[in-house]
Amino acid sequence: MRDTGYLAFKGVVLKRLVDFENDRRQWPRLPIAIPVFVRSRDEKGKDLLEFATALNISAGGALVAVRRSLPLSAQVLLEIPSAPLAAASSLPKAARNLRARALWVTHADGYHLVGLKFSHPLVAQSARRPARSRKVASVL
């Protein structure tokens, strides 16, 4: 099956999210569905907790499908549920709680799709996608 760049969620094609040739994101996205808890506050300051799905994720952010709308610029804490592991020093430390900010919100089929930007990238700065080479214009 060819990847067309359209996001299918709950069997419905929502919209074209990526123009792969012109995608200028710093990190590549992984189109993987991950269950997450989303903690935030609504416009009135009331605490919100919702079980949601991250539809894609990168080192810089995530696309999350939630039932309740989040205000733009809302501070969000994504909690990735996982089974407890025995305290083993040989296992790498993994991020389970990710602080983020809502950059955009769109609505589709009873869900709110929220584009989140993480407060800190999940990888070191040196692991960023290499810069694309650009054509150099000649003065001649």
Mean pLDDT to the nearest integer, 55-80: 93
Instruction: State residue 83's pLDDT score.
Output: 74
Burial 59-80 (b: 16+ CB within 10 A, else e): bbbbbbbbeebbeeebebebee
Model pTM above 0.75: no
Any domain includes 14 = no
Which helix (H) or strand (E) element contains residue 86? Answer: none
Cross-strand partners of 79: 37, 97
Mean pLDDT to the nearest integer, 11-17: 48
Of 98 and 21, which is predicted with more confidence?
98
Q: Render pLDDT for 30-41 as a digit per residue (tens, 0 to 9).
A: 999 999 999 998
In this structure, what CATH number is given to the domain that contains residue 39? Answer: 2.40.10.220
Give the count of domains, the chain.
1
Any domain includes 8 = no
Instruction: State residue 70's pLDDT score.
Output: 86
Residue 59 has pLDDT above 80, yes or no: yes
Any domain includes 113 = yes
Q: Render pLDDT for 46-56 as a digit per residue (tens, 0 to 9).
A: 899 999 999 99
Any domain includes 77 = yes
Residue 74 has pLDDT above 80, yes or no: yes
Residues 6+ apart with CB under 8 A from 98: 62, 77, 78, 79, 80, 118, 119, 122
Residue 60 has pLDDT above 80, yes or no: yes
Q: How far is CA 119 from the centre of its chain?
A: 12
For tokens 């999350």, name the residue: 64
Any domain includes 139 = no
Any domain includes 101 = yes
Q: Render pLDDT for 79-133 as a digit per residue (tens, 0 to 9).
A: 998 877 655 566 666 668 999 999 999 988 889 999 999 999 988 755 555 555 5
Any domain includes 75 = yes
Any domain includes 134 = no
Residue 22 has pLDDT above 60, yes or no: no
Instruction: State residue 132's pLDDT score.
Output: 55
What residues make up the domain containing 58?
Answer: 29-83+95-122
